[in-house]
Structures are given as structure tokens and as C-alpha cells.
Structure 1
């Protein structure tokens, strides 16, 4: 049933709770985890009106990737500490989070997506359009949102 579970993590507490739930589901169904983090690189085109040094943008993108690696290292430690003994893969993706999560879930033929909620609701969620809301609306597989 849940043979391959995609778990996006961003370092938030709700993401860690989602990772814990995903590991439990994967254990129960003898599945595997695909733990991913998505970083949004600075887009040079979006900054055309702002006179910035391109070296600053490149350096900032490198810093973002370093943060992504740290998030995945923490995720690996948490998966190991959970007692999960199945297959777990860790991946960094670049781009818009909801788009990358949905694309990877489809490409990897995932059976479910388990992700954290930042707790936005009502009007704030309507205006901001949270990642969890977009994933739940557009995914073609079950989505578990963990608070």
C-alpha cells in the first residue's frame, strides 16, 4: 500500500513530526522513504531591477545548498534514531517546493506524500498558498499532512 513514501523536510518542527510518521508508515508497510528538501535558488531574472553583484547571487545559492545538505543530514539522523531499517534515499531539489515535490513523487512512482503543515489556516492560507495546501490539491496519490 505505502511502498514508497515521499517526505519533504525543511527543518521545521512539523516537518520532523511528518518524517517520524512517514518512518512509522514505511515500517508498518515495509516501504521505503524518499526524504527530500527543496531549495529555491535566487533567480537572476527576478532581480533585474535590483543592481546586485552576480557573485553575491552565486554565493547565496551555494549557501542555500549548504543549508539543504544540513537539513538532510539532520533528517538522516532522525530516521536512524527512529529505528527505521528499510531503504531511505535523500535528495536535494532546486525550484518551487510544491512543484518539485509533486514532480518527484510522480517520477519516483510514490504511493504517498507525508509532509508537515506550518499551521496556516483561513485567510492567511488563502493569500499565502501554503505548500501543504497545494500538494493536497494537486497530488494524485494520498497525502498525509502532519501538524
Structure 2
């Protein structure tokens, strides 16, 4: 998306100014809710397809902003936990992420990945709003 591109550009600009390495984290959200409202886990073949799609998205963004050197992580699970876990393991100095700007009932029911990441993380976070 256009917003993902802006978030990536902020990250690249900051990393080049600071001489820092870049890690791209795309968490495959494996949770699903079926028609009866029961939660479960996505089938492994669907997760594999999502990982292939995530790789394509990452490659496309990297190509558009002309970045060749970066670490790529595609963990499975809850997005906020995956982001925080990778940042911790990688000893990241900063997490840069966007917000989608959910409002109203969607935000109340689902929460925000950015909000949950802020709550869980010991790593500083730079939020790029969707309307920046």
C-alpha cells in the first residue's frame, strides 16, 4: 500500500542517516475465526501461501525504494508479539511501523497492532500515521 511505502521510506531514510541496518518484519497472523465464532489456526498450506505473498510484497517495496540490503523475518502468530519478539532477538534500536487508523467499533473489538506493540515493547517505537 501507499502507506506501507511511506513507512519503509521513513525507515530507509533514518537508517541511512544513522548508518543502521534494516530488518523487515511481516508477521503472518495465523489466527482465524470460523462462521460459528470459534477461533482456531489457519491451515499450514494457507500459511505457506501467505508467506509467499508477504515475500512478494516485501520485494516489491524494497525494489520501489531501491533497498537491497536488509534482514527479512516472517514469523507466525499475533502481529504485535511477533514484532516485539523479533525486535528483542535482533536487538533493534528502534521499531518503525505504521497505523491504519481504525476507528470506532473495529478499533474497540480488534485493538490496534501499533497500540499492542507499544504496550509490549521495551524498544522505542516510531509510529508513521496513515495521514502523514
Same fold, TM-score > 0.5, yes or no: yes
TM-score of the superposed pair, with normalisation by structure 2 = 0.79
How much has 1:79 moved relative to structure 2?
3.9
Provide structure 1 residue ranges, at least 5 long, that are not aligned to the other structure: 1-11, 51-55
Q: Does 1:141 align with 2:123?
A: yes
Provide structure 2 residue ranges, at least 5 long, that are not aligned to the other structure: none
How far apart in 2 are the matches of 1:42 and 1:141?
25
Contact preservation (8 Å) 2:96, 2:128: yes
Query: Superposition RMSD on alpha carbons, in Å?
Result: 2.6
How far apart in 2 are the matches of 1:42 and 1:98?
13
Pair 58,90 (structure 1): closer, same or farther in 2 beyond 3 Å: closer
TM-score of the superposed pair, with normalisation by structure 1 = 0.71
Q: Relative contact order (alpha carbons < 8 A, sep ≥ 6): 1 or 2 greater?
A: 1
Which protein shows a greater Rg? Answer: 1
Partner SS, residue 145 of structure 1: strand
Q: How many residues align?
A: 124
Q: Residue 62 of structure 1 aligns with which residue?
A: 48
